[in-house]
Amino acid sequence: MSRRAPSRTRVARRGFTLIETMIAMVILSGVVLSISVGTTKLSRAVGDANVRSRAFARADLIVGLARTWPSWTTLETLSGPTYNAERDGFVSSTIITADTTGGRRIKRLEVTVRAVPTELMPLPVRRSIAIAAP
């Protein structure tokens, strides 16, 4: 009986094949791309929130001035250019309307703040209050 040497039909594999490497690179590229898109969207959202927050602060400043205004009869001064000039990339407009129907003495104040340029904040910020005469 003759003994035959075992044939090596299987070759030992070491490392990855080209196909496996390419598939891994495609998957890794997709993950990196999705992370970069998410980071870009998050950065844009934070920037937009910062602009809107500053616009609300500007509107709240004018409303606060109206609440502490020394004279109810001169409240219309807040609608002038001194308080509505363009500052820090925002322009505000203040409209004051008096309501004296039925013996009431109320002034309504509406502040609208827009960003300059408007692409930074397409929708304006609005705040309004009603102030009664003392």
In a domain, 77, yes or no: yes
Size (the chain), residues: 134
In a domain, 11, yes or no: no
Q: Identify the pLDDT of residue 72.
A: 87
Nearest-angstrom CA–CA distance, 13 and 37: 38
The parent domain of residue 88 ranges over: 18-132
pTM (2 decimals)?
0.72
Reported as half-sphere exposure (CB side, CA atoms, 13 A), residue 11 has a value of: 3
In a domain, 80, yes or no: yes
In a domain, 49, yes or no: yes
In a domain, 38, yes or no: yes
| Total count of domains within the chain | 1
In a domain, 5, yes or no: no
In a domain, 2, yes or no: no
In a domain, 27, yes or no: yes
pLDDT tens-place values along the chain, 134 residues long: 556 665 556 666 678 899 999 999 999 999 999 999 999 999 999 989 999 999 999 999 999 999 999 998 899 999 999 899 898 899 999 999 999 888 889 999 999 999 988 888 889 999 999 999 88
For residue 90, the SS3 value is strand
The amino acid sitting at 60 is D
